[in-house]
Amino acid sequence: MLIRPFAAQDEQAILDLTLDTFEPFYEGSFRPLMGEAIFAVQHADWREEYIRTVPGLHEPAAGKYVNVAEIEGALAGYIGWEVNASRGHGTISILAVSPVHRRSQVGRHLCEHAMGRMKDLEAKIVEIGTGGDPFHAPARALYESLGCRTIPVSVYFKEL
């Protein structure tokens, strides 16, 4: 596996991977759990939101980076992260691994790589968030296995 910095030609591939990765959450988990009214307000435009935000994940001048994992020349996954060196704070903003490469340590290697780079850039801590639902269980297991500690947070929605 090769982990390398984002290159302009990666943009469409990581956008496609992002949409494929998170569609099961938005359409298969959040939407049925919360119902149409809440989904319509909270996440109906989730695809468009990623189309808007993915291109801005890699802005080194702003302390924002993307690293890409390749296996045999194919995109296996990517990680978006940022560092606020003055605070000593790093954040992993997104992690996506192709279905073919899940459960093969791609996510772990991407996280370890990003955390190492954050440390090189003077981060003292890293923050990463994920959902408490079944879709996000593999992410929680990965982050806990990397030594991350969780703080319980509850988010409630109610249709008015």
Q: Average pLDDT for residues 93-121, to the nearest whole number?
A: 96
Q: Average pLDDT for residues 89-95, to the nearest whole number?
A: 98
Residue 153 domain-assigned? no
Q: What is the pLDDT of residue 22?
A: 96
Q: Report whether 125 contacts 88 (CB < 8 A).
A: yes
Is residue 21, in this structure, part of any structural domain at all? yes
What pLDDT does 152 receive? 87
Q: Is residue 158 part of a domain?
A: no
d(CA 64, CA 67): 10
What is the number of structural domains in the chain?
1
Q: Which domain holds residue 38?
A: 2-145
Residue partners of 61: CB distance under 8 A and separation at least 6: none
User: The CATH number of the domain where 79 resides is what?
Assistant: 3.40.630.30
Taking alpha carbons only, the member of 104, 111, 11, 124 closest to residue 57 is 11
- pLDDT tier at 122, thresholds 50, 70, 90: very high
